Amino acid sequence: MPFLELTLHCREAEQPRYEHAFDDVGALAVTMLDADAGTRNEDAILEPGVGETPLWAAITLSALFPHDADALLLLAALESFDPGLDWSRVSFRNVEDQDWERAWMDQYVPLRFGQRTWIVPWNHELPAEADGATAAVVRLDPGLAFGSGTHPTTALCLRWLDGLAGEGLIDGARVLDFGCGSGILALAALKLGAAHATGIDNDPQALLATADNAERNAVGARLSVHAPDDAPGGTWPIVVANILASALDALADTIAACVAPGGRLALSGILDGQQAALLERYGQWFEGLEVAAEGDWVRIDGIRRR
């Protein structure tokens, strides 16, 4: 059955209002894409910060309606429902029925980080370079929470983990992914040789997505997921926290306490310009703090003092 598809571009802050309006006028489905993905070399995934919704700054929002819906009547209904939104940016087109999940997945491609780490969507064949004994391949389903590409913050963490593996520091280690989102970092650590990974997130959807992805990658027995309130105690030799700078600041004591003496920590989700305050904040516990940048984002990593 064909559909009438409505598409518009909006900012993150406007998205809930637009989606509410679509739901009110009877949209059959609403999907979101990163409107700026075409300007980067990678597709976007936002590892959500604590309490954050994983959306992009600029969004392409699409809604499906029955094929015989009247576009002008729909537009009039939308304008009536929320006249404060800009409905002049709307476009309509007729689309044929198709496997929508497959269409969504087709937008993602395999991506490499560092020497060994690959993130590969389920619908793609392994690239030749990733089809080897030393490759650490994480298979993700774009239909699950938070997508399967990579935002610069996640890319910075994946390269850091890959670098640790190159130094022989991950093999057999325990890893904590603080703010695990889709579990992409925990899964990468496991594929790089970690003995066990722990994912912590306050979003139940993130915990389900992480556990599901772990099962799909045949590492479910080596990963545990927890809400912050039931997180296990103790310390980890490797901790990665890809959340927002404000959360990294607010949770500094908690995060620092998770890192074993001599252990390694990576902090990401930090906009360029925010690192100075965090370097000072974490400097009381960590030495050798370094900053790596990609685009507008930075990563801080260091070693817990013994």
The verdict on residue 123 lying in a domain is: no
Q: Which residues are annotated as a binding site?
A: 154, 179, 201, 242
Confidence of residue 244 (pLDDT cuts 50, 70, 90): confident
pLDDT of residue 286: 98
Q: For the domain that residue 60 is a member of, what is the CATH number?
A: 3.30.70
Does residue 91 sit in the same domain as residue 8? yes
How do residues 245-283 score in pLDDT, each as one tens digit? Answer: 888 999 999 999 999 999 999 999 888 889 999 999 999
Rounded-to-integer distance, Cα 147 and Cα 138, Å: 13
Does residue 299 sit in the same domain as residue 174? yes
Q: How many residues does the chain have?
A: 306
Does residue 263 sit in the same domain as residue 160? yes
pLDDT of residue 137: 95
With beta carbons less than 8 A apart as the criterion, state whether 138 and 183 touch. Answer: no
Give me the number of domains the chain comprises. 2
Does residue 164 sit in the same domain as residue 298? yes
pLDDT of residue 305: 96
The helix/strand/coil state of 128 is helix
The verdict on residue 48 lying in a domain is: yes
The verdict on residue 116 lying in a domain is: no
Q: Which residues are within 8 A (CB) of 82 and not within 5 positions of it... i.e. 6 or more apart? A: 17, 18, 20, 21
| Residue 194, domain extent | 152-304
Angle of helix 184-191 relative to helix 204-216, nearest 10 degrees?
Answer: 30
pLDDT of residue 12: 82
Q: What is the dihedral of CA 42, 213, 217, 200, to 10 degrees?
A: 100
pLDDT of residue 257: 97
pLDDT of residue 49: 43
How do residues 100-156 score in pLDDT, each as one tens digit? Answer: 445 555 556 788 999 999 998 877 788 888 888 899 999 986 544 343 445 788 889
The verdict on residue 226 lying in a domain is: yes
- Of 73, 97, 121, the last residue of a domain is 97
Does residue 169 sit in the same domain as residue 299? yes
Confidence of residue 296 (pLDDT cuts 50, 70, 90): confident
The verdict on residue 227 lying in a domain is: yes
Among 160, 153, 116, 115, which residue's Cα sits nearest to residue 138? 116
In the sheet that holds 223-226, the strands lie side by side as: 223-226, 196-200, 174-178, 236-242, 259-271, 297-304, 286-294
DSSP 3: E
Among 25-34, 178-187, 221-230, the least confident range: 25-34
The residue type at 53: T
The verdict on residue 290 lying in a domain is: yes
As beta bridge partners, residue 197 has: 175, 223
Confidence of residue 19 (pLDDT cuts 50, 70, 90): confident
As beta bridge partners, residue 287 has: 303
Burial class (CB in 10 A: 0-12, 13-18, 19+), 287: exposed
The verdict on residue 249 lying in a domain is: yes
Does residue 160 sit in the same domain as residue 271? yes
Integer CA distances (angstroms), 50 to 175, 180, 200, 242, 244, in order: 19, 10, 10, 10, 8
Does residue 86 sit in the same domain as residue 160? no
What residue has token string 């900012």? 11
Does residue 160 sit in the same domain as residue 87? no
Average pLDDT, the chain: 85
- Of 97, 116, 142, the last residue of a domain is 97
Does residue 54 sit in the same domain as residue 168? no
pLDDT of residue 144: 46
pLDDT of residue 220: 96
Rounded-to-integer distance, Cα 22 and Cα 46, Å: 24
Rounded-to-integer distance, Cα 47 and Cα 45, Å: 6
pLDDT of residue 43: 38
pLDDT of residue 55: 55
Q: For the domain that residue 286 is a member of, what is the CATH number?
A: 3.40.50.150
Does residue 230 sit in the same domain as residue 91? no
- Of 97, 132, 162, the last residue of a domain is 97
Does residue 72 sit in the same domain as residue 208? no
Rounded-to-integer distance, Cα 79 and Cα 86, Å: 8
Does residue 157 sit in the same domain as residue 92? no
Q: Tell me, yes or no, if the pTM score tops 0.85.
A: no
**Host H or E run for residue 264:** strand 259-271
Rounded-to-integer distance, Cα 242 and Cα 156, Å: 9
If you count DSSP H runs as helices and E runs as strands, how many of each does the chain have, helices first? 9, 14
How do residues 49-70 score in pLDDT, each as one tens digit? Answer: 444 444 567 888 888 898 888 8
How do residues 192-228 score in pLDDT, each as one tens digit? Answer: 999 999 999 987 878 888 898 899 999 999 999 999 9
The helix/strand/coil state of 110 is coil
The verdict on residue 195 lying in a domain is: yes
Rounded-to-integer distance, Cα 84 and Cα 16, Å: 13
Beta strands in 55-116 (DSSP E): 58-66, 91-95, 111-113
Q: Which residues are annotated as a binding site for S-adenosyl-L-methionine?
A: 154, 179, 201, 242
